[in-house]
Amino acid sequence: MTAPFDGAPGKGAETPKDMAERLRAEAAIEPDPPASGEVTKETQIIAIYGKGGIGKSFTLSNLSYMMAQQGKRVLLIGCDPKSDTTSLLFGGKSCPTIIETSTKKKLAGEEVTIGDVCFKRDGVFAMELGGPEVGRGCGGRGIIHGFEILEQLGFHDWDFDYVLLDFLGDVVCGGFGLPIARDMCQKVIVVGSNDLQSLYVANNVCSAVEYFRRLGGNVGVAGMVINKDDGTGEAAAFAEAAGIPVLSAIPADEEIRRKSANYQIIGKPGDRWAPLFETLAVNVAEAPPVHPTPLGQEALLGLFASETVGRDVVLQPASPADMCGPDHAPKPSLEVIYDTV
């Protein structure tokens, strides 16, 4: 069976010989030479991870604002299903999420545009991926779907100096581990505090980075931001043990807490806390990705006093009587044991 001739009308069907010659001619066309000029633009894509409620959104809103004030083009993308990354940046206002907007537009037979999902404040561009309604889907899968929409909107062609991704630290979920697993970012930053749960999450993120590096990944950890630092030192000790630098320590200060609760940016040039975020902006930009050394459970617990984390507790095996009550009568085993010859 011959394929129709894709040429001028009236020339009839294309013969196998004609098709072979046409394909040879197409194959002989040399591709465009690779670009050899100096690289003039490189976007740093940085994924920030941490336990829920640890202060990622607070840190990123102030950091992105300061970076924009320093003349950088910054895009902040909230990748937490709670969709609260940009709330502080926009004074408490909710930002329409990409997933919710896409669903509404699809039902209306319309296409999503940048203006539907991306918003600006004082030079910072920001958007929220969003997630499914409660009990109606997987948050990680929502993240994957959200990035598929971003790619359709031209994500890889956007012109920014920095793209900051705010991710929940539950990297055991494939969706939340997406930037690490698929090399979507150049480096990772963890946010933690002087408490075991936030450092447990930070340690999991370091473990995920090392796991995917062994599989050929290129993402490294650039460092740690200690939030609500009360001076007890556990987070700094973790960073030292894991082999990652501390990029900034944001103190547990009443003014910071109050202004953050009122959706106020404190990382403004000239303000009291400006030097802290100016330094953080420089460290985030310049810190190279490194190989972290994840801690084992005992080493992680060892960062804290034994009475704080219950290290003196001894595991006591349970018995069948514990499980079934004091009147439990052992039942004969049904296992068949054969005599050896």
Q: Is 200 helix (H, G, I), strand (E, B) or coil?
A: helix
The reply to whether 51 belongs to the active site is yes
Catalytic residue among 51, 187, 228, 259: 51
Catalytic residue among 18, 72, 82, 105: 82
CA atoms within 13 A on the CB side of 236: 10
Among 3.40.50.300, 3.90.1560.10, 3.30.300.30, 3.10.20.740, what is the CATH number of 44-301? Answer: 3.40.50.300
Catalytic residue among 84, 116, 161, 170: 170
Residue 242 CA, chain-centre distance (Å), reads 19
Residue type at 36 in one-letter notation? S
**Tokens at residue 293, please?**
């050394």
Q: Pairing state of beta strands 162-168 and 74-78?
A: parallel
| 52-66, 70-84, 317-331, range with greatest mean pLDDT | 52-66
Q: Is 100 helix (H, G, I), strand (E, B) or coil?
A: helix
Which of 8-17, 39-48, 52-61, 91-100 is predicted with the least confidence, judged by mean pLDDT?
A: 8-17
Which of 11-20, 61-70, 76-85, 86-95 is predicted with the least confidence, judged by mean pLDDT?
A: 11-20
CA 10/CA 46 separation, integer angstroms: 58
pLDDT per residue as tens digits for the range 259-317: 999 999 999 999 999 999 999 999 999 999 999 999 998 899 889 877 666 667 788 89
The reply to whether 41 belongs to the active site is no
Task: Provide mean pLDDT across the span 158-185.
Answer: 82
The reply to whether 93 belongs to the active site is no
Residue type at 91 in one-letter notation? G
Q: CA 69, 73, 78, 83: dihedral to nearest 10 degrees? A: 60
DSSP characters over 225-285 = EEEEE-S--HHHHHHHHHT--EEEEEE--HHHHHHHHTT-----TTSTTHHHHHHHHHHHH
What are the sequence ranges of the domains in the chain?
Answer: 44-301
| pLDDT (0 to 100) of residue 32 | 45
pLDDT per residue as tens digits for the range 25-44: 766 665 444 433 443 448 89
User: What is the model's pTM?
Assistant: 0.78
Band (pLDDT 50/70/90 cuts) for residue 140 is low
Task: Provide mean pLDDT across the span 121-141.
Answer: 76
The reply to whether 170 belongs to the active site is yes
| pLDDT (0 to 100) of residue 199 | 95
Count the Cβ atoms, other than its own, within 10 Å of residue 288: 10
CA 89/CA 107 separation, integer angstroms: 30
**Tokens at residue 31, please?**
């591709």
**Tokens at residue 181, please?**
């697993």
